[in-house]
Amino acid sequence: MTDIVPKIQGNTNVAQSKEVSHLPGKEIGVVVDTSTTLVQNQNTSDDGDDDDDGDDDNDLKFRCTGPVPEGYKLSEATTKQHVLINSYMSCGSRFTSHFFGFRNDSFYFYEPLWKFNVLAIYDKPNLECMVVGWMDECRTITGEELNTIPDESSLADQILPVDKKNNEQYFKEDISNSTAVDILIDMLTDVYKCRFDRLINLVVDNVHAEPTLGGPSWEVYRQCRKEEDTPKLECLKRLEKVCKKADHIVTKVLRITTGSLDTLMERFDNLKILHLYRDPRAIINSRRSWKGYPIADGLGNAQKLCDKMVIDFVGGLEVMKRFTNRFKFVFYEDLTSNVEYKTKQLYKFLNMDPSLMKFEEDTSMKKIVNEAPIDSEAKQLEELRKKNNAYWWRMSLPYNIYGMVSDQCFKISLIFNLTTYNDENALHNFSIPSMNLPSLFVIL
């Protein structure tokens, strides 16, 4: 990958003193220009075609082989617009995704790649990297290996690497020429084509169909699964009908680099991507407070998080350049500063009808923040967390850990223009802003 040299606005005096360790093969450069702010194209014209809802036999000719062959289109022109939200654990993605996936005109598939190693990310063509510091760094994984279904007992223990013991496969066709990322993209393709019978081994009832995660889209499936004599495949067939009627198909994805999504963008002209960021210091604080996330090595955890953020920034710039008006960076702190206005602006970008969401009546979305699981010893922070979810980390995160995270996240801090606090008093002083985001990350 050639170096991408973004120019960002910021108060920086140590701009190029550190290097970032990154995924193998990724060359990343950042130069700071304090006089320049990144600006994103705000055009919201409709440039999307919808996919063919049928199971076209021709689709199988290029499955697991990369880009769509020249002259072949998956989609037919309609007014539908589909959405993929790419993000990170503890980034506010569940909160954000509800605004797009829980609408009456949307079908929402929560984390379709969840059943793979929940603590891994994948980068094209065949790279699997752990997101926690005490696990192995990165390894090359074949398409055949990724296509093998994990042993369920290992999957249940999410702290351990998934041990793939049995020989069952997600896809039955020949994938000998497929890369690992090819398989992931093919699975996402099936989601946007509403071909759920092909994903029968990926659907986990207590995850994808769980009401607070999968939302109202899965109600038909949930009711079907209560019928004792109805097989899972039949329930998925019923769910396909719901999916095909939706104006928008929305997914939230956490386990693939942004630059690896270009093939999916090629396949669907009507797909737009929101890449959701959050202050990495807030993410680490949230992970420290969550029993479900093994943050034994805080130093390595912060390093891997921020390295991937830089990689996704570089990949996002490339996707944005290649697919005009189909990719947008979004920042959790910016979104939560004015949820109704910012979300409606995103609806315009995504060609979604803003009138279908009644913000003043919908309290369930607030509960997503208020009822988020934490395990904080400082119980007095609970009310602050509810009132100021985006910034409560500044009172919760110990200053020594703040310093460690800041050191590991040097480059992404420059890109985001994050504030540096010289002492604990400054960290706790909310009159000092946490960041001064470049306009590329601001919903205007």
The answer on pLDDT for 24 being more than 60 is no
- CA 429 to mean position of chain CA atoms: 31
What's the residue count for the chain? 444
Instruction: Please give the model's pTM, rounded to 2 decimal places.
Output: 0.78
The predicted-structure confidence for 182-232, as pLDDT tens digits, reads as follows 999 999 999 999 999 888 988 999 999 999 999 999 999 999 999 999 999
pLDDT in tens, 125-153: 999 988 775 555 788 988 888 877 665 43
Whether residue 176 is predicted with pLDDT greater than 60 in this model: the reply is: yes
DSSP letter assigned to residue 344: H
Mean confidence (pLDDT) of the chain: 76
Q: Which two tokens stand for residue 113?
A: 């790649």
Output DSSP code: residue 317: H
Three-state DSSP state, 419: coil
pLDDT at 173 over 90: no
Mean pLDDT of 373-381: 50
pLDDT at residue number 181: 94
Select the highest-mean-pLDDT range: 134-138, 264-268, 303-307. 264-268
Q: What is the spatial distance between Cα 37 and Cα 416, in angstroms, rounded to a whole number?
A: 11
- Is residue 335 predicted with pLDDT exceeding 70? yes
Does the pLDDT of residue 366 top 60, yes or no?
no
Ranked by mean pLDDT, the top range of 75-89, 137-151, 260-274 is: 260-274
Q: What is the pLDDT of residues 388-408, one digit of tens each?
A: 778 989 998 999 999 999 999
pLDDT of residue 306: 94
Phi first, then psi: what are they for 403, rounded to 5°?
A: -65, -40
The pLDDT assigned to 145 comes to: 84
In this structure, are residues 201 and 168 in contact, taking their beta carbons and an 8 Å threshold? yes
pLDDT band at 381 (very low <50, low <70, confident <90, very high): low
Measured CA angle at 236 (ends 234, 240), to 5 deg? 115
Residue with tokens 């205007």: 444
* pLDDT score of 30: 46
Between residues 355 and 43, the one the model is more confident about: 355
Report the distance separating Cα 290 and Cα 154, nearest Å: 20
Q: What angle do CA 143, 22, 319 make, to 5 degrees?
A: 70
Phi-psi domain of 185 (left: phi exceeds 0; alpha: psi -120 through 50; beta: other)? alpha
Tell me the pLDDT tens digit for each residue of 44-71.
333 333 333 333 333 333 333 334 333 3
Higher per-residue pLDDT: 157 or 216: 216
Q: 5 by DSSP, 3-state: which?
A: coil
38, 439 Cβ separation under 8 angstroms: yes
What sign does the CA torsion over 47, 439, 88, 123 have? positive
Structural element, H or E, at residue 124: none
CB 253 within 8 A of CB 86: yes
